[in-house]
Structure 1
Amino acid sequence: MVATNATPGIYDAALLRRQNLMGKSGPAALVKNFRVFSIAMFACIGGLLYGYNQGVFSGVLTMPSFQAHMGDYDSNRPQDQSRKGWLTSILELGAWFGTMLSGFMAEAASRKYGILIATGVFILGVVIQSTAISAGHNAILGGRFITGMGVGSLSMIVPMYNAEVAPPEVRGSLIALQQLAICFGIMVSFWIDYGTNYIGGTGAGQSEAAWLTPICLQLFPAVVLFAGILFMPFSPRWLVHHNREAEARKVLATLRGLPQDHELVELEFLEIKAQSLFEKRTVAEHWPHLRELTAWNTFKLQFVAIGSLFRTKAMFRRVVVATVTMFFQQWTGINAILYYAPTIFSSLGLTSNTVSLLATGVVGIVMFLATIPSVLYIDKLGRKPVLTIGAVGMAVCHIIIAVIIAKNDGRWQTHKGAGWAAVAMVWLFVFHFGYSWGPCAWIIVAEIWPLSNRPYGIALGASSNWMNNFIVGQVTPDMISGISYGTYLVFGILTFMGAGFVWFFVPETKRLTLEEMDVIFGSEGTAQADFERMEEINKEIGLETILRGAGTGGDGRLTPEEKREEITEKEAHLE
């Protein structure tokens, strides 16, 4: 919701009235909204699949049976490092492609069926990978690309779905579940790799089931999601946007566990309707040839709208913040660690593949635990200090690892303590990423846009994330084999640059309204115009009338008693 001190109006009144009706946020609110919490948890299986795919292949690459089966993809031969990079990073190329199509798919087919389609694509990719036992490495390459298309779409549609079914008091927590599900998937994949590595022994006689099992296991949660999503509700927002208002009201009442004529249901329904009308009128004003809601126009709108982000200096600055932040997020080297952790640990002197897989499992645990405090406290601490401190911490870890390798490379057997010190630095690096650039980069990308440009701006930021993810996955094997400790120097220098970029170029965005975003990005009036259009729509559909009978002033402003309650609640939140 949007509100300013200069324009109190309907937004202030709607926000406070809904807060009074729905109660406070926190764990108790999740229990109160258990139906929605359960739906969001189930949808986050998509996040688990995303995280599992990010982590599982790192262990598979080092398994002797996989190396023997793939032949010219043997990870121990320097001439094959580029091919190994393709084998890993082609997932991200597919995810980039899937991300670009996910907005259209979610709008044309619905969020519900968008998840269904993306999960079906994911399952197809896994099935193709499982045929690699007879079809060879081309099946792995093709299967991972198709699987990537699925996880790329899921990474966009699942948070969108959760945000649209959630009541406002738990929306942030339910969206954050996606990040925790991703980290949980990474953690689980590392430990499954560690366990299946023992199938048939850990040497030359290792069974091919050792690497096929972790690949095939992801079919189980995918099939559960594919079947279960059929019984999930449609997004009320999608239903309203496609003129199915009676069905939307019914679904919304069911999600809230309230009768359809309840004031809270009516209030939220009208706010959803207002948002839908706002988007339709914005499209009609900016792109009148696309105003008709057809599948083809929806597809074209994604690209036309992204192009509009480059037309003004102020909007282009937002583009730079979003895309460069995602550039630096990937060039911290986090996915180099996730994709090649066992290989990296082996290069640091952990000669046993079993021990390197064990050290990799710790990476998953550290990253999962480090994400939790950021989800809880980021709105209190702010984005800039957390991102800056996290970047400096990661960069220092990279530099220390580079120094350790430069002094001890080739002498790990007699300097095992140095090897374990480097491993500890990798764990500390993952900790710094978990609380900072993991969640915070996505928060920045989501909140810097005016209301009318937000979906397309987020899509552009996500595109930068996946493309740089692909490049990092592609070049990391060549860097490790070619420049050794220089790999960590490169990541360290770039991460220091990321800290500087955030500190000097990215504005602090916590607790800012859209109008205040306009001021700091130098585009005064953009969000104000959006706000005025939304205010006009709210009056038109009768939201102001509801609020007049609910204890607010006749013009939609807060009464003195309500304003004091709002201030008290904000002060309690800040404490």
Structure 2
Amino acid sequence: MGVETSTHHGETISPAGVPQHSSQESVAMNKPTQVGLDTPVPRVTMRAFVLGAFVSMGGLLFGYDTGQISGFQEMSNYLERYGELGPDGYSFSHVRSGLIVSLLSIGTLIGSLCGAPIADKLGRKWSITLWCIILNIGLIVQITSPAGKWVQMVMGRWVTGLGVGGCSLVVPMYQGESAPRQIRGAMISCYQLFVTLGIFLSYCINLGTENLDGTAQWRITLGLTFLFALVLGGGMACFPESPRFEYRHGRVDNARRTMSKLYGIPENHRIILQELEEIQQQLDAESQEQVWHEFITAPRMLYRIALGMVLQSLQQLTGANYFFYYGTTIFQGAGISNSFITQVILGAVNFGTTFGGLYVVENFGRRKSLIFGAGFMFVCFMIFASIGHFMLDVHHPENTPGPGKGMVVVACFFITAYAMTWGPMIWTIAAELFPSKYRAKGMALATASNWCWNFLIGFFTPFITGAIDFAYGYVFAGCLFVAALVVYFFVIEGKGRTLEELDWMYVNRVTPWKSSDFEMPSLHSGHYQEDDLARKESRSYHAENA
């Protein structure tokens, strides 16, 4: 039985809506005499810079909400309205504190999982707008919470978390699918840069509002979150859809045009034509059957999903949020008189050094940077935990000011290493791990694991630190040791490679510790085509036996 097709603008469109090039266009794509074929490729264009920076406001929303809550719990009005009255005044119990801090993470976990089918249905850019609307609904619930109704505050944070989680999935995905290959790592790392900017801004604003009267102490901070989400959600109307999403839905001309603008080269440039052909070859190798479990059973997908989930979990288990969520409490215990000022210092270090991460990711690669960063943070946590557990007078910290100040210095070194390596690069790797067909689902599971551990650390940290104080740092040190091993044995280097090349390398089991020097076979070589055929046959087998 024949398969019906239709043609549009020189392309053949299958019933599934997938464009397939005619033989004439395939020849033209490889014709070596086209105008503009070998013009120089700019390192970065203004369009790519603006797109990466603006869309990264999704990270600002994440960081801003993460940083503000630890300050809220030290503010007199917030304590009176939502805390519990005890013999020493208002305070939060461990349970209530853990719920207020960490219910945002439950919302983000759900939002990141729900974000995959929505991103595949609506597209990447309009999904960001939708999640910003949901985020603002949650902020309205929080801002309008009456005194004593701490449960409404918690539920508002949960709804806000839905929006933050959805953005945390779609923003790196949109950046990864749109960015030119030579700056993809830096562009996705901008997401983490804006996370750190959000944390720093929230610390500064908390410092400026803590002495105000009434609910202005914390409602001003929440109100600014509303403004940021409004700007991001509305501004997405001015940006194009991701080229790979456009291509997969038959809008090849739009994809080519967008890539031309972001690369800063003509539409018929060799780089664009080669990348479009790689996308087409990946599409040709995919089964067009929509089987729900195929994203797990497809070649090497279970391996990559597991790797993505482990890496995102380990990003949380580095212990960075141990400082950010409970920074004011930790450093009050370290003998610092004004913990708000301490948090501003940490936030400034975190934000400033993340700029270095944009350079590191494209100049030293993913693997070396992550392994070195994990090793350095391991040493920092061993020192931090040892000073806090053995030298600091936890009950009367003013008696040991020296160790307290030393812990702040070590914390700054730790945050520097985190901000330049594990903070931004894990989002980059998550966006590079999966082929286009399964990218939304794979990234959703990986991102959900990040938020799951975010919740667990946020909720249980008060209980654990109450029982073993700063010895908790040894747990994070052990996780960092494991993290270095995971990167060495399982992560393939993505520096300078297209998303389609990385997919080929994972499917064909390129040895991770040799991947930095691996040379890809020619796009049209027999070796490349044989492996491509093997992938087709494997995926067809899964579809036929579904």
Q: Same fold (TM over 0.5)?
A: yes
C-alpha RMSD of matched pairs (Å): 3.7
- Kept after mapping to 1: 8 A contact 2:185/2:362: no
Q: Distance in 1 between matches of 2:365 and 2:262?
A: 32
Residues 1:424 and 2:409 are matched in the alignment: yes
Deviation at 1:88, TM superposition (A): 0.9
Deviation at 1:359, TM superposition (A): 0.7
Pick which of 366-375 and 272-281 moved more: 272-281
Q: Who is 1:282 aligned against?
A: 286
- Kept after mapping to 2: 8 A contact 1:278/1:534: no
- Kept after mapping to 2: 8 A contact 1:10/1:535: no
Q: State how 1:187-198 maps to structure 2 within 5 Å.
A: 187-198=200-211
Q: Distance in 1 between matches of 2:374 and 2:331?
A: 22
- Kept after mapping to 2: 8 A contact 1:24/1:169: no
Q: Who is 1:381 aligned against?
A: 364
Q: Who is 2:343 aligned against?
A: 360
Deviation at 1:117, TM superposition (A): 0.3
Pick which of 483-492 and 423-432 moved more: 483-492
Q: Who is 2:83 aligned against?
A: 71
Q: Who is 1:60 aligned against?
A: 72
Q: Deviations over 1:458-511 (max 9, x none)?
A: 3332222121111111111111222212322222233233334444x3355255
Q: State how 1:378-417 maps to structure 2 within 5 Å.
A: 378-406=361-389, 407=391, 408-417=393-402
Structure 1 residues 316, 182: CA separation in 2 closer, same or farther (over 3 Å shift)?
same
Deviation at 1:453, TM superposition (A): 5.1
- Kept after mapping to 1: 8 A contact 2:295/2:301: no
- Kept after mapping to 2: 8 A contact 1:95/1:151: yes
Q: Who is 2:538 aligned against?
A: none
Could you tell me the TM-score, scaled by structure 1's length?
0.74
Q: Distance in 1 between matches of 2:418 and 2:331?
A: 18
Q: Who is 2:47 aligned against?
A: 35
Structure 1 residues 63, 121: CA separation in 2 closer, same or farther (over 3 Å shift)?
same
Q: Who is 2:9 aligned against?
A: none
Q: Who is 1:20 aligned against?
A: 38
Q: Deviations over 1:427-456 (max 9, x none)?
A: 222112112211233344444556765554
Q: Who is 1:152 aligned against?
A: 165
Q: Distance in 2 between matches of 1:172 and 1:12?
A: 28
Q: Distance in 2 between matches of 1:345 and 1:403?
A: 16
Q: Who is 1:98 aligned against?
A: 111
Give the 3-state SS of the residue equivalent to 1:187 in structure 2: helix
Q: Deviations over 1:107-154 (max 9, x none)?
A: 211222111101101111111110124572122111111111111111
Q: Distance in 1 between matches of 2:240 and 2:374?
A: 40
Q: Who is 2:493 aligned against?
A: 509
Residues 1:209 and 2:216 are matched in the alignment: yes
Q: Who is 1:304 aligned against?
A: 293
Give the 3-state SS of the residue equivalent to 1:396 in structure 2: helix
Q: Who is 1:222 aligned against?
A: 229
Q: Distance in 2 between matches of 1:358 and 1:454?
A: 41
Q: Who is 1:568 aligned against?
A: none
Deviation at 1:308, TM superposition (A): 2.0
Q: Who is 2:194 aligned against?
A: 181
Q: Distance in 2 between matches of 1:71 and 1:423?
A: 28
Q: Distance in 2 between matches of 1:230 and 1:73?
A: 48
Structure 1 residues 421, 258: CA separation in 2 closer, same or farther (over 3 Å shift)?
closer
Q: Deviations over 1:401-448 (max 9, x none)?
A: 223223322232222122111122222221121122112333444445
Q: Who is 2:313 aligned against?
A: 327
Task: Calculate percent identity across the aligned residue pairs.
Answer: 28
Q: State how 1:97-116 maps to structure 2 within 5 Å.
A: 97-116=110-129
Q: Distance in 2 between matches of 1:213 and 1:490?
A: 37
Residues 1:88 and 2:94 are matched in the alignment: no
Q: Who is 1:44 aligned against?
A: 56
Q: Distance in 2 between matches of 1:216 and 1:103?
A: 29
Q: Distance in 2 between matches of 1:435 and 1:212?
A: 32
Give the 3-state SS of the residue equivalent to 2:443 in structure 1: helix
Q: Distance in 2 between matches of 1:274 and 1:500?
A: 32
Q: Which has the higher helix share?
A: 1
Q: Distance in 1 between matches of 2:485 and 2:243?
A: 42
1:463 to 445, 448, 472: 448
Residues 1:347 and 2:333 are matched in the alignment: yes
Q: Distance in 2 between matches of 1:64 and 1:484?
A: 25
Structure 1 residues 135, 465: CA separation in 2 closer, same or farther (over 3 Å shift)?
same
Quick one: which amino acid aligns to residue 506 of structure 1? F
User: Number of matched residues?
Assistant: 487
1:123 to 129, 136, 139: 136
Pick which of 164-173 and 459-468 moved more: 164-173
Residues 1:473 and 2:462 are matched in the alignment: no
Give the 3-state SS of the residue equivalent to 2:84 in structure 1: coil
Q: Who is 2:20 aligned against?
A: none
Could you tell me the TM-score, scaled by structure 2's length?
0.78
Structure 1 residues 92, 147: CA separation in 2 closer, same or farther (over 3 Å shift)?
same
1:338 to 316, 319, 324: 324
Give the 3-state SS of the residue equivalent to 1:402 in structure 2: helix
Deviation at 1:67, TM superposition (A): 1.1
Give the 3-state SS of the residue equivalent to 2:399 in structure 1: coil
Structure 1 residues 122, 76: CA separation in 2 closer, same or farther (over 3 Å shift)?
farther
Alignment gaps of 5+ in structure 2: 1-26, 514-519, 534-546
Structure 1 residues 421, 126: CA separation in 2 closer, same or farther (over 3 Å shift)?
same
- Kept after mapping to 1: 8 A contact 2:113/2:448: yes
